[in-house]
Copies of this chain bind each other. A is one copy, B any other.
Amino acid sequence: MARIAVVAGDGIGPEVVAQARKVIDAVLPGVDATGYDLGAARWHRTGEVLPDSVLAELAGHDAILLGAVGDPTVPPGVLERGLLLKLRFAFDQYVNLRPSRLWPGVGGPLASVKPGEVDLVVVREGTEGLYAGAGGALHRGTPAEIATEESLNTRYGVERVIRDAFARASRRERRKVTLVHKTNVLTHAGSLWARAFEAVAAEYPDVTTEYQHVDAAAMFLVTQPQRYDVVVTDNLFGDILTDIAAAVTGGIGLAASGSINPERAYPSMFEPVHGSAPDIAGRGVADPVAAVLSAALLLDQLGHADAAARVTAAVGAELAGRTPGVALRTEEVGDRLAGYATS
């Protein structure tokens, strides 16, 4: 039976994760879940972000379910670099998977896009690029200060994530992969990405390909999100594009993500894209859908495609049945989802 580490985290994290666990238990009884206390609260209490001993324990699990970490009182970077990115890098989670669908029942912001028309997934590279942490500063705090950030890209790292994107596309209906980069300005990394993309594309003759500069892709995600099927891109571009994709499909309140090590050499990690939302924490009004959809990605990654599909369908039923303007209760949504998923 699957062993899952649960990092509920801060703010609304524990509230939404409880519903995700409820739904997992409903579709796959007997999952062995262990909670880990990490995030802003622990940092405030102990000064620790992610002790090595905890990292080692997490490594023994099949997957990690994470709610949200962070809080405005923690300096920027502490939890991001020390916890989230640390896990992505330590566990070689090179596929950052972020599906976006415009669900029936959800009023997206775009006047001309109808529910059901958008169904895309961004395969964001998760272990390289500007997230590598390479860079520094000189003459800090003086008028002569310089600060650098370096994007590191390896053929190894780029090719493996592109290969994952093509494999996913070949299992989808439209079988199309869009590479997004900025080859006309970032010529070195851009050329590496473009050549790796071409090489992998040659192995998938039945998959259609296109290339777009990141600025154009950002624009087309707003004007024609329907055109995308699978999008593959680097770490930073993926960070930005997935928030746009979330925005045009009803907001990050519904957006799920998986940080995946496809080889299962390390645990993959699944989390809603939203943050800890301290402003609404503790009131039982957070929407658990993103956490539950993240649980569906988790189930799928662990080989329980059926259970995953039932959870996804439950979300579809829940969203289609919502009345705009009616406030939701986190617990009740979780109960309904568990019900739909098992009926």
Chain B residues whose C-beta falls within 8 Å of the C-beta of A189 in the assembled complex: 135, 147-149
Task: Give chain A interface residues in 227-259, CB to chain B under 8 Å.
Answer: 236, 239-244, 246-248, 251-252
| A130 on interface, CB distance cutoff 8 Å | yes
| A137 on interface, CB distance cutoff 8 Å | yes
Chain B residues whose C-beta falls within 8 Å of the C-beta of A73 in the assembled complex: none
**B148 and A151: CB pair below 8 A?**
yes
State which of A17-25, A33-41, A55-63, A216-224 sits at the interface with chain B.
A216-224
| A190 on interface, CB distance cutoff 8 Å | yes
Cβ distance A80 to chain B, nearest Cβ, rounded Å: 4
Q: A130-B151, A152-B148 are known contacts. Are A187 and B219 too (CB-CB below 8 A)?
A: no
| A186 on interface, CB distance cutoff 8 Å | yes
How many residues on the A side are at the interface (Cβ–Cβ under 8 A)?
A: 64
Task: Give chain A interface residues in 137-151, CB to chain B under 8 Å.
Answer: 137, 139, 141-151
Cβ distance A136 to chain B, nearest Cβ, rounded Å: 6
**B149 and A155: CB pair below 8 A?**
no
Alpha-carbon distance A251/B151, docked complex (angstroms): 30
| A131 on interface, CB distance cutoff 8 Å | yes
Task: Give chain A interface residues in 173-219, CB to chain B under 8 Å.
Answer: 182-192, 195, 214-216, 218-219
Nearest CB in chain B to that of A275: its residue? B216
Nearest CB in chain B to that of A193: its residue? B147
**B184 and A80: CB pair below 8 A?**
yes
| A343 on interface, CB distance cutoff 8 Å | no
**B135 and A188: CB pair below 8 A?**
yes
**B244 and A222: CB pair below 8 A?**
yes
| A324 on interface, CB distance cutoff 8 Å | no
Cβ distance A158 to chain B, nearest Cβ, rounded Å: 9
**B144 and A155: CB pair below 8 A?**
yes
Nearest CB in chain B to that of A137: its residue? B188
Alpha-carbon distance A236/B111, docked complex (angstroms): 29
Cβ distance A299 to chain B, nearest Cβ, rounded Å: 26
Task: Give chain A interface residues in 147-170, CB to chain B under 8 Å.
Answer: 147-156
| A110 on interface, CB distance cutoff 8 Å | yes
Cβ distance A157 to chain B, nearest Cβ, rounded Å: 9
Nearest CB in chain B to that of A238: its residue? B215
Chain B residues whose C-beta falls within 8 Å of the C-beta of A130 in the assembled complex: 151, 185-186
Alpha-carbon distance A57/B143, docked complex (angstroms): 34
Alpha-carbon distance A147/B150, docked complex (angstroms): 10
Nearest CB in chain B to that of A250: its residue? B223
**A248 and B222: CB pair below 8 A?**
yes
Cβ distance A186 to chain B, nearest Cβ, rounded Å: 5
| A86 on interface, CB distance cutoff 8 Å | no
**B223 and A244: CB pair below 8 A?**
no
- Type the 1/0 row for A248-286, where 1 means its CB is closer than 8 Å to any CB of B: 100110000000000000000000000000000000000
| A51 on interface, CB distance cutoff 8 Å | no
- Offer 13 A-B interface pairs, CB within 8 angstroms, sorted by A: A109-B112, A109-B223, A135-B187, A143-B155, A146-B152, A147-B191, A151-B151, A182-B239, A218-B241, A218-B244, A219-B244, A219-B246, A222-B244
| Given A111-B111, A148-B188, A182-B236, 11 extra CB contacts under 8 A | A76-B187, A76-B190, A77-B183, A77-B190, A81-B187, A109-B110, A109-B112, A149-B188, A185-B236, A219-B244, A219-B247
